[in-house]
Chain A
């Protein structure tokens, strides 16, 4: 079946640094990629949707200047959390979708900001 790889799986960094998370579709072309955030004991909330070669569409309340999304190829999207602060600590999950295909989810990245 379709595989989506997310890297890193866990990252700890100091407040003020920027962190990049990668999402790759390993065996299919992902025309659309989605980024979700999940706080403890809460559900997944969609942050943004990105189509290859286009600017990402952000959900209301998500700062596009803080969460930079790049979808430069059909197999790779990146989420960069800029100047991360402790309140950005969360579990970030990506999903990838090919044309007329269901979404396939990555294993998530746990981000801890000290």
Chain B
């Protein structure tokens, strides 16, 4: 069964700092990988989707990479802002369902 792990579980950084969130998965037979943002008590907002054939995707200050063979993905956030504070979830899609990681709780300190 697919297992998705995210490190670190929590991260606190000063405003303006660049940061990297990590995601690893055990089964490389995935269709795609997606990064989501979740604010407290809210649903999911899709940030970036990387197809299995792609290596990275970029949107604004966000860059996500995928190394399917090693089962790893990273989410890079440049010039962090207090508004980036949220939980970031990594999810791999395969076998007709999502498998979610436990998330990284990010706090950006003004």
Contacts from A to B (Cβ < 8 Å): 6, 34, 41-46, 49, 91, 93, 102-103, 105-108, 110
Contact = CB atoms under 8 A, between A and B. Distances in A.
A43 B41 contact: no
Interface string B31-43: 0000010000111
Contacts of B102: 41-43
A105 B44 contact: yes
B43 A107 contact: yes
Nearest to B9: A41
A45 B4 CA distance: 12
Interface residues of B, number: 17
A44 B100 contact: yes
Interface in B62-110: 89, 91, 96-98, 100-103
A46 B103 CA distance: 16
Interface of B is mostly: strand
Contacts of A103: 98
Nearest to A6: B43
B49 interface: yes
A36 B74 CA distance: 24
A43 B43 contact: no
Contacts of A6: 43
Given A34-B97, A43-B103, A102-B49, A93 B41 contact: no
Given A43-B89, A102-B49, A108 B101 contact: no
B48 to A, nearest CB: 12
